[in-house]
Every structure is written in C-alpha cells, then in structure tokens.
Structure 1
Amino acid sequence: MVLFLTSITTFAQQRLTSFKNVLKENSTDIKDVIPVVNKENGNTIMFIADAKNVYGYKLNPEFQLIDKLASETKKRKYKIFIGGDIHGQDYRIFLSNTSQNKFASINFSFTNKTTSSTEFKLPQYEYFVQTIAPKNKLYLLTADKNSGNLYLYSFDKNGTPIKDKINLESTHIVGKYDRAVKIATLLTGQESVQKIEKDTPNAIETVSDPVKMYVRDGNIIITFDQNKKVTYVLNIDIESKNSSTKVYDKPLANLKSSRKKTNSFIYGDYMFGIAANKEIFSMHILDYPSGNFIKEYAVSKNEKISFKNTPIIQEGGAYNSYRELEKTKKFLRKITSENIGISVIKIAGDYLFTIGGYVNQRQGGGMMMMGGGFGAIPIGTIGSATFFFNPTMFAYNSFSNTKSTRIEGVFNDNFEHIPNKEIPENVFDKINDSKTYNETAKTVFRYKDFFIKGDYNTRTKIYHLKKFTE
C-alpha cells in the first residue's frame, strides 16, 4: 500500500511521498532509518530497522515505491549502521558491534527476493576509523597502531572484504607538542573522525574537532589541527591507494601562548585557518591547491568585530539558552576556553562564515556531549547511523542542538565582508521550522541538489518524505 500525497510547496518545502511499513509485523520500536541513494540511476532505498529486522523500500527517482524486501533476523550485537554498497540490483548494508572490531553485512537482492548476511573481524591492533562511499561503493578506513599503516577495505558482490594497504610507515607529522607522531596514532587516538559533507551547514560542534575528513574528486582528505602552528593535510587517492601530505601555515603561528586555540576548514578551493587567545583573533584565507595567502581578518580584545553580521551569540547554557555578549574580550575568552572552529558555506551567492567555540554544558547533574566524539552519542537518541553513514543527519542534529559561542559573517566572492546584510536562512533552519508532533525515526539526507527529511508515524506505520531546498 502506497499513499501518494499531493505536492505542496511552502517555505521551500515539498511533500514527496508517503508509504506504509507493511513489512513490519512486530511491535518493537524503530531504531534507525538508513537512506541509500543510487548515484547512477537515482533510486533510493529506505532501510527501516528495528532491533531484529531491516525492512527495505525501493523508490524510483519520482519517489514512487517500486519494490520492498525484509531481511532475515539480524544479530543483536550488530547495532551500528556504518554504510551501504550497491552491486547492480543488489543493495548491501553494513553494521558493526559497539566495539567496532566486528562487522556484518546484509545483502538485499530485489531481483531474487532474497537476503543473506556475512561477517568479518578486524585483526588485532587494527582500528576502524571511518567509512567512505563514492560512486555507490563502500570503503572502510582502518589504522594499525603498531605498523602505522592505514588500510582501505572494499567489498565484492558477495560481501567479502578486499584489503588494500596505504603505506605510511615512514610518514610522520608534527603533533600537539611539536613532536613527530604517526598519522595512525592520531587517528586511533581520536574518539571520532568528523566527516564533512560539502554544501551542508555545519555547527561549531561539528567543525571544532582537531581531525576532519573530506571526500573530494575521488580522494580522501584528512586534516590534522593538533599543532598550533600548521595544519597537516593527508590526501589518499581512493583508486590508486597512493598518499601525500601538505602543510599549511596557521595565523598567529609565531605567537607563543598556552591558551592559543587553532583550527581549520576546507571549502571549495580555499583553506580557512583561525587562531585566537584572550588578546587577539586572526583568520587567514588561503588558496587550497597552492597554499598561497589571500586575505586576513583580525581583531584584538578592545576592538569591535567589524566582520560579523550577528551579535556575539552564546547559546545552550545550563541556565540561559540564549544570550548576546557585547564585548570582544568576552568572545575571545569564551572561544579560547572552548573547542574552537570555523564553518563556511555558500548560500544565495554569498559565503556565510560561522566562527566560535563550544564547551560541554552540565544540565541536571549530567554532562551534555552533543557534537563530541562517537562515544558521546547516545545510540537511540540521535541514531547510531548518523555519524558514520549519514553525516548530513549528524550535522543536522549538531546544528539543531548547538551549545556554542559564535558570530556569523557574510562575504562576497572576493571575501570582502558585506556589512548590514541579513544572515540567510539555511536548509536546516527550514527543516526545523517544519517540525510537527509525534515525529520519530527521523532522518535527513542529501539527494542530488536538495535535502530530504523523513519521519515515521508509529501509530499508522506510515513513513513520510519531504523535500527541502535552500
């Protein structure tokens, strides 16, 4: 049974379709919804998972339901969805245990109307880092603490892992204390490696991590910001498995200060670096391919910030969820006692910069850890798939639950500040404005050049999909 709803466009929102979860017969709660978009033909599979089973619904590019298939019972130890793979008409989803050293895959053959599963385990001392899924193919990135090597796992049509080595035995970078350190050590020393999606709004919580991953033009790019003087960039060619490193100077590189905080962000052809202590803030805009300097914005504690279009906003405090700070010195004090970050996105033809920091807030005797490492994510509250498999949903959750001190500024194509211009509403703002009661099993994902929000009505067992544009 499929319910096709009349398309209604309001505030850049359009209803795409609804369908009933007729395959689900038990009364257990929905744990995750996993969208897998076929980048070749535009089909989308919506995998709806409860504690025991996974239900797959195939939609064509017009979002009409064209097929459905339920899996065999999955083992309960595999609770974390980490990605999806497509081989012809077969769709395979991958899961891990909570220790992230054992993995299972479930293959959905819509042609044969069958499902099957496989399992595999990582060797000792090898640690799971992240997933990458360009061109309908899933890769697992792992790191070996002993050898210092990285590995890329891909999978054949039967789910059998194929392991390729990225040789980094002789590659070291300078870490936090100006000492040489292996890249594998930095990756395995993180609770998480934040995956950044292009043209997706990112909250300060998301971008303030010292290690970030980007996937661009068939390459995995990982930035390391533990060192306060430079940003190290590791580039891995997914096809050849060759790697290279580059170094970018940070602002205030020669300023010695134990309270100095730094970070970076890549967007398009540009590298944005920031540095601050209690006395001064500086931002450099560099040409990413060459590393050449383009522009700097700086402010000291006794000056007004001339390159912002908002007040200094403090949001998510334990006793006051929204405050506006007047003095630059308060802004500098806040962001240098927190995890500093910068996010850049192009909206309505202009660049929107978000600059600030965040700190974990205590509420009700507990520690709020939104936006931190994967270990901080309460599975079932945000959804176990969002961090590894669906960075758009993770970014949306972080954006919607921000606990940061920040400013925002609008800049033109030459990175000249545009004063008095209103901050444009981004797509996550629009999705938040569309919230209704009784939304469960929600997901947000990117489809071509727009975003889709899905939510489930547990009473009717109907799943709704809505389209959102900038």
Structure 2
Amino acid sequence: MKKSFFLFFFIITFSLFSQIRLTDVNFEFKKNNDYHQLTTNVNPITSEIFTFASDKESIFGARFNSSVFFSDSLTIKKPNEYNFLLGSSFLENNNPILYWATKNYEEIIGIEFDFENRVTKTIELNVNLKEAFIFNEFSEKGTYYFLIEDKESKAIQLISLKGKTIQKNTLDFSKYNFKDDKQNKTTISDLLKEYGLTKIEKKGFNSFEAGTSKLKYYLHNDTLIFTLDHVTTKTQVLELNLSTFEVNESVFLQNTTEKNIKQSNSLLVNNYLFQLKSNKDIFQIQILDYTNKNLINSYTIDKINPSPFKNSTFYSQTSNSSPRKLKNTKKFINKTSNTKIGALIYNYNGNYIATFGGSKDIRRNSDLLLGVGLAMTSVAAGYNGFDYDTFSGDLVIQNTTFEVVLNSSFEETENNEPLFIDKINQFTSNNKNIRYEHYFPFDNYYILCHYDKKNKAIVLTKFQDGIQ
C-alpha cells in the first residue's frame, strides 16, 4: 500500500539527511523465526526507552536513557509454555514489566525487569481469557488493556494491567440503541464481532486500509472513543472515560441532500470529524467541529465537473504495483462506488495531508486467466473435478485514491517538505537486512526500532518531518 504522499524526489535529494542512527545494542536471534518477537515501550514518567527481544529460548531486555544512550541489558531464560508476548507496562518503581500469555490466553504472567539490581521477577496474574471473546488489546500511558466479551455473561469488559494491578470494569451500553446496516435492532457486541475494531493512532501514520474500517477507536487523553460508521446515515460516537468508565454518546448525522448513498465513513483527527459518503454519482467530504458539530468545510467530487482539488491526481493501485493514473473524476467515481471508502490524514506543521478514496479486495486478472486455462485443460483431459477456487489466485487490495493538502481552514494548499514516514519507507526498502521494524513517537520526532540481521544488533534510528 502506498503510504507516501507527494515529494518522493525530495527524499532522494536529501537522503543523506533523512535519518540519524541514535544507538544500537548487540543481540542475535536464534534460529526458528516463528518465535522471534521485538517490542519497545517508553516510560511516560522517566522517558526511558525499553526494548525487548525474544526467541524460542531467551528474553533479552535493553534500557536506553532519556537521551537515547544505551544504559544496560539483561538476558533471561524464556518461561515454558508462555510463547506470546502481549506487551508491557511499568511498575510504581518505574521498572518495566512484560506480559506473556499461553496459546489460549488461559494463563498470563508478568516478568519484572530490575535493571538496577540486575534481576527479574515472575508475577502470576489472575487473568484467564480462554472463555472470553477478545475484541482488541492495546497499551496507553504504561497500561495494557483488553476489550473483551465475557462468554458466560455476554457483558463487555475492559481489563487493564498496570504493573501488578489488575482492574476489570464492565461497560454499560444498555441505554443506547444500536442498529445493523438494515436498520434492525442489534447489540454493540454483535457489531464488534461483525466488523472488527481498528485502532487509529493519534501520532504517526495509519494505513489507508485502517481508515476504511467501519468501526474504529481512538485514545485521546483519558478517553477511549469509538466511532461506528456501519450505517450510511450517521456516525455514532461512544466516549468511554477511562477514569470513571462512564459511556456517553454523540451522533453526527450525514448530510441528507444526496440520495441513494451506498457508502459512508468517518475519521476523527484532532478536534475535527471528517465524514465521507459516496454513490454512483458523487464522492463527498465534509469536515465538522467535533465539539459542537458545526460544519467547517465540504467538498463534492462528481462525474461531470472538474475536481475541486486542483493539485490532486486520481490513482488506482493494486497491491504493491505502480499506481495507475485515472483520467478524470468519472473514472474515480466509477471505481470508488463499489469500494469501502475511507481516509488517511496526517497533521504536519499546521496542514492536514490527506488521502481520500476507496479500497476493495480483488483477484488479479493474471490469476483468473490462469485458473480458466487450467480448468479448460482439465475438462479437455476428461477430468471434471477441477477446483477453480484453488487456482483462481489470492485476493489482493486495490486502492483508488487521491491526495490533497489542506490548511488550518481546510482549504487546499501545498506541502513542500517530505514526511518522516516517507523517509522510513525509503530507509527500510533500501536495507535488506532490516527485520521486525516498528516506530514510535519520542519527544518531537520518531524512532524506528529494528533488528539488523547482518550486524546482529537492535538499532534505534531517528526520523523527522521536513528536510533534516
């Protein structure tokens, strides 16, 4: 999927200034890649960075101080049966604690890393999720969360692990009405099971496919925000206070002037809600103030008139192939009318750099032709049991999108500098020895953590927006 935006040529021109290697630590993964895991967490109080790597036999932990200098490391034997590294949080003494689970989540333990005294401690946690339906799990500000449905009571619960403390809270959605896409009464549990739940990161980039998800969640300060866009008439918003665990609802109605809307969606960015809708004739964007629901700006793309975005080009891209330019708005409308529409938006230097469009799963023509050819050959040979689906090719993603830069008033403008994600993409694509890479915000920049297969080291590299 093409994550980059406008200025790839800038990245090439300024490639020497694209990244700064901050630090590294020697480490070698043992064989059997199935057991390799690498994760990083930042202590929100001390700003220390902790990176943990594990293979089939051992767990390696490295500590970096707030200036991103290597401080210390510890290696321990991996506990038997606990093969799934869930994540980490921090104890009151600021020591990191790693959470490990058995295959079926029947048992979860914590391993405290005490770098000062060079010891570790295993902590048994009274959490058994074998009989739970896990909707999602995530970490925020040093706490690890599970959003689940208890299979026996059918109640939705939010379980939090913070150090050794386990808190279970039942979430009450009973006073709110939920309907499916056919306007039949349903429950939020059924909706979560049908559509899944996608996390939208507040900082950094999200994939365009994440932006097309119908049910999303956002972490904003001490509030967990759910947005439901499975019906075309509205965006239903549920705000969960992570201190009181109270749930409040807001509803943002879609503009009803257009009829026969086939698709709709939304994306929450800072304090603005971008609402999208489309049918066979139009693709519409409206930007609302999240606090008062006032309309800030709106744009409509139709088949007849030129695009309101004069600096944008429509593209269609299948899997990782080169993007194909579309001639006009009619082509764009035709291709997006039968897709899951969505948006990818990044706020940089007061501007909103956005991708709008649609996504769908397709089978490549070459795979389809191969399947037809094999089927015909099979029939000609007198064999009628040919399984066409087996040879019809795997599904791949096709995105039909355009990119635009909006200023603080949500009017089209220009961006003249490359973004950190472009630099990371270039860096990783040009380095074949990179493994298990992930990035995270730190201070006013981003750090890419990865394993260098050639040099057998865990490396932290700095990336920033703009020409650096």
The C-alpha deviation readout for 1:298-317, integer Å capped at 9, x for no partner, is 12112221225331111235
Deviation for aligned residue 1:255:
1.6
Q: 1:294 maps to which residue? A: 296
User: Residues 342 and 146 (structure 1 numbering): CA distance in 2 closer, same or farther, change over 3 Å?
Assistant: farther
- Name 1:182's counterpart in structure 2: 187
Matches within 5 A, 1:93-242: 93-96=98-101, 103-112=108-117, 113-118=119-124, 120-122=127-129, 124=131, 126-144=132-150, 149-155=155-161, 157-158=163-164, 161-190=166-195, 192-242=196-246
Structure 1 residue 361 displacement after superposition: 4.0
Q: What are the within-5 Å matches in structure 2 for residues 45-444 of structure 1? A: 45-76=50-81, 78-79=83-84, 81-87=85-91, 88-96=93-101, 103-112=108-117, 113-118=119-124, 120-122=127-129, 124=131, 126-144=132-150, 149-155=155-161, 157-158=163-164, 161-190=166-195, 192-252=196-256, 255-257=259-261, 260-307=262-309, 309-317=311-319, 321-362=322-363, 366-368=393-395, 403-418=398-413, 421=414, 424-435=417-428, 436-444=431-439
Q: Secondary structure at the match of 1:434?
A: helix
- Equivalent pair of 1:71/1:106 in contact (CA under 8 Å): no
Q: 2:335 is matched by which residue type in structure 1?
A: K
Please give the secondary structure, in 1, of the residue aligned with 2:412: coil
The code of the aligned residue for 1:360 comes to D
CA contact (8 A) 1:150 1:165 kept: yes
Aligned residue pair count = 420
How has the CA–CA distance of structure 1 residues 310 and 18 changed in structure 2, closer, same or farther, with 3 Å as cutoff? same
The 2-side partners of 1:439 and 1:462 are apart by: 10
Secondary structure in 2 matching 1:133: strand
**Structure 1 10/348 Cα, relative in aligned 2: closer, same or farther at 3 Å?**
farther
Task: State the match for 2:372 in structure 1.
Answer: none
CA displacement, residues 103-134 of structure 1 (integer Å, 9 cap, x when unaligned):
4433323344124153531263x322223433
Over residues 428-463 of structure 1, what are the superposed CA-to-partner deviations in whole Å (9 max), with x where a residue is unaligned?
Answer: 111122231221222222223211112223343212
Aligned partners of 2:158 and 2:168 also within 8 Å = yes
Deviation string 1:42-75 (CA, Å, 9 cap, x unpaired) is: 1011111223432110110122221212243234
Instruction: Give secondary structure in 2 for the equivalent of 1:359.
Output: strand
Q: Which amino acid aligns with 2:399?
A: S
Q: Deviations over 1:202-254 (max 9, x none)?
A: 33212100011100020000101101000011100001111111100123476
In structure 2, how many angstroms separate the alpha carbons of the residues matched to 1:434 and 1:74?
A: 35
Distance 1:73 1:247, change over 3 A: same
Residue 102 (structure 1) shift: 5.5
1:342-379 Cα distance to aligned partner (Å, 9 max, x none): 12222233221210111224366543567xxxxxxxxx
- Structure-1 separation of matches of 2:101 and 2:177: 30
For normalisation by structure 2, the TM-score amounts to: 0.82
Aligned-pair identity in percent equals: 25
For residues 5-29 of structure 1, the C-alpha deviation after alignment (integer angstroms, 9 at most, x for no partner) is xxx994342110111017x6x4444
Q: Distance in 1 between matches of 2:206 and 2:291?
A: 23
| C-alpha distance after superposition, 1:158-179 (max 9, x if no partner) | 3x63211222234332331122
Q: TM-score, normalised by structure 1?
A: 0.82
Distance 1:361-1:109 versus aligned 2 partners, 3 A rule: farther
Q: Is the 8 A contact 1:143 1:188 kept in 2?
A: no
Report the residue type matching 2:421 in the other structure: F
The structure with the largest helix share of the pair is 2
Q: Is the 8 A contact 1:78 1:104 kept in 2?
A: no
The answer to whether the 8 A contact 1:409-1:423 is kept is no
State how far apart, in whole Å, the 1-side matches of 2:264 and 2:416 are: 25
- Listed as ranges, the gaps of 5+ residues in structure 1 are 1-7, 371-402
Alignment equivalent of 1:21, drawn from 23, 27, 34: 27
Distance in 2 between the 1:204 and 1:185 partners?
A: 25
Distance 1:147 1:28, change over 3 A: closer
- Residue 389 of structure 1 is matched in structure 2 by none
**Counterpart AA for 1:345:** Y
Cross-structure match for 2:10: none
Q: 1:263 to 1:138 in 2, by over 3 A?
A: same
Extract unaligned runs of 5+ from structure 2.
Answer: 1-13, 368-391
Task: State the SS of the aligned residue for 1:241.
Answer: coil
CA contact (8 A) 1:271 1:286 kept: yes
Deviations 1:81-103 (A, max 9, x none): 43311002321222445666654
Q: Equivalent residue for 1:3?
A: none
User: Which residue number corresponds to residue 398 of structure 1?
Assistant: none
| Residues in 1 aligned to 2:330 and 2:337: alpha-carbon distance in whole angstroms | 11
Taking a change above 3 Å as real, the CA distance of residues 157 and 95 of structure 1, as seen in their structure-2 partners, is closer
Is the partner of 1:186 in helix, strand or coil?
helix
Counterpart AA for 1:292 = N
- For 1:114-155, what per-residue CA distance to the aligned partner results, in whole angstroms no more than 9, with x for missing partners? 24153531263x322223433312222223467553212123
Instruction: From the superposition, tell whether residues 100 and 251 of structure 1 become closer, same or farther in structure 2 (CA, over 3 Å).
Output: farther
Aligned to 1:44: 49
- Change in 2 beyond 3 A, CA 1:51/1:338: farther
